[in-house]
Chains A and B, each alone.
Chain A
Amino acid sequence: MSMTPAVEFQSVARHFGTVRAVDGVDLTVAEGEFFAMLGPSGSGKTTCLRLISGFERPTAGSIRIFGQDVSRVPPHRRNVNTVFQDYALFPHLTVRENVAYGLMVKGVDRRTRMARADEMLALVKLPDYGDRRPGQLSGGQRQRVALARALVNEPRVLLLDEPLGALDLKLREAMQDELKALQRRLGITFVFVTHDQSEALSMADRLAVFNDGRVAQVGTPAEVYNTPRTRFVAGFVGSSNILPPAFSTALGGPAAWVSLRPESVRLVPWDRSVHRGAVRDLRFLGAGTRVQIDMPQGELAALVPAGLPLPAPGDSVGIVLAPNALHPMEGEA
């Protein structure tokens, strides 16, 4: 099948003076996909989002939205809407007028647009808040209004800039589920930017990991988590051990930089394994305990699932690796 991708980046670059914010990015987001752009601050993910919304123009390369080259199309002519990080609700308008804004500037008559706005407010579960001002809402409620306002125009692609960043943990988890459910129901392509790897892994169908203006890896959460392509990805996503070639060969792995998930390391009595170390530290994580072990070649972390016996700091332990646990990576950082 050859569906037109929702968003397509071809060798896109965006330079600010000498700063290469985005430096040769190729990306394809399929229609109906929940796509995450993950990376530390300054990695270029937000600039990529702004390239899609049109607030930045590429220095080089081309951007297509549903096949149309939008490099010269201004933001207000793109069928793409954004949920801004600080929500950017209009303080002088009521919640209903905020949601109806996109329809108003299109010239939709007042009665129709107010009815549509109320529908959208019901969709985001704020049916009775239409007459309030944004200033009277909580952070979570503002977020929903911003969502309703962006969805009222029926965009083909919805962009979300760190949508959950300003919410507290509890609300965040609830909103994650809700966003996901909403996206499935509407079938709209969602592209969201986040620096929170757990958010990206739990919500996205696919994600791109950004580093230094480039895409370090694109894949499903499972692919990125289990087989990180570079040391950077392994370090940024999850909490892998990143071992240099010498350490890897000592453990029977390839002579390359490898990543090793803590959950792939099993602890055994020290005389049952040729790989031994001393327990330095334990950290209780709920579903398991992270055990920090000093090995001759360096430090290693193992995850002991809850319910299994735990060593004490100072104990000598042996380690056994799950099959194929050492995953080789490109050496670049």
Chain B
Amino acid sequence: MRSDARPPLALTLAAAAGLLFLHLPIVLIFLYAFTIEERTYQFPPPGYTLQWFAVTWNRPDVWPPLYLSLRVAAVATALALVLGTLAAGAMARTRFFGREQISLLIILPIALPGIITGMSLRSAYAMMEIPFSTLTIVLGHATFCIVIVYNNAVARLRRLSGNLVEASADLGANGFQTFRHVILPNLGSALLAGGMLAFALSFDEVIVTTFTAGQQSTLPIWMLNELVRPRQRPVTNVVAIVVFATTFFPILLAYYLTRGGSETAGSGK
């Protein structure tokens, strides 16, 4: 029920305060990327400069983590797109014993605390004597990236009339043709949204990564280290802006692509 009555003033103020509390610090992070004073972060900044962008650009230790993060996110997303779509297809299409349980198991990594996922993966790698590498990070990220793609695909498939697949087969299309000409075109935007969301989640993931990366650092882990022992502090803020942009715009786009549907854009870790 929509109510026409105005909410009480106190509630309005509390809500506004809550939103400010959540979002003001983000603005501050952006602000300090431009400060001329790097020691104490005094507020308000005594002056503004763009020099930290140039400094960041020229810092050799920023680039390998950035490349690694992009590579991991891209591979994990690609993996998730294939496996998540296949899993969603199987779930949408057939009824079998244990179907609900398997569905739950697929979704579990997103509900599980990252620290559990990380620890269990680490011990699994140790047991199988798999050395840490980019691949081990990718696998860790794929666990929750698959869920994002899967959720989006399952929701879209549910909205697709089941008769469309039957109509296609009825008209003579084999399974591959039906997938290519009917399912994929209708699934397209959901997969794009799921993929971007998965990319964004992977790009800023910290917890699982700390357990599954060896000596390598992804960008968020590099930032974490920088915060602990800072050197040219505003550089971290510049990188934060990069991370923010890389994750925020895909999520925003995913939100618009799946608007009106029951896909789970924006839900996740």
Contact = CB atoms under 8 A, between A and B. Distances in A.
A99 to B, nearest CB: 10
Given A76-B172, A91-B186, A104 B181 contact: yes
A82 B177 contact: no
Nearest to A53: B170
Interface residues of A, number: 26
B186 A105 contact: no
Interface in B168-196: 168-174, 177, 181-182, 185-186
Contact of B169 (A76, A86, A89, A149): A76
A152 to B, nearest CB: 8
Contacts of B177: 105
Contact of A101 (B166, B174, B181, B185): B181
B169 A74 contact: yes
A45 to B, nearest CB: 17
Interface string A133-170: 00000000000000001100100000000000000000
Contacts of A80: 170
Contact of A75 (B161, B169, B185, B186): B169
Contacts of A106: 172
A55 interface: yes
Interface residues of B, number: 17
A77 B186 CA distance: 24
A151 to B, nearest CB: 11
Contacts of B166: 55, 75, 82, 84, 88
Interface in B102-160: none
A211 B168 CA distance: 31
B181 A86 contact: no
Contact of B168 (A53, A77, A86, A101): A101
B94 interface: no
A105 B172 contact: yes
A92 interface: yes
Interface in A158-197: none
B167 A153 contact: no
A90 interface: yes
Given A76-B174, A84-B163, A105-B177, A90 B182 contact: yes
A102 B182 CA distance: 12
Nearest to A84: B163
A24 B44 CA distance: 86
A114 to B, nearest CB: 16
A81 interface: yes
The interface centre, meaning the residue of A92, A149, A153 with most chain B CB atoms within 10 A of its CB, is A92
Contact of B173 (A82, A84, A91, A105): A105
5 contacts: A76-B170, A76-B172, A81-B170, A92-B186, A153-B171
Interface of B: 161, 163-164, 166-174, 177, 181-182, 185-186
Shortest 4 CB-CB contacts between residues of A and residues of B: A88-B163, A102-B171, A88-B167, A105-B173
Interface of A: 53-55, 74-77, 80-82, 84-86, 88-92, 101-102, 104-106, 149-150, 153
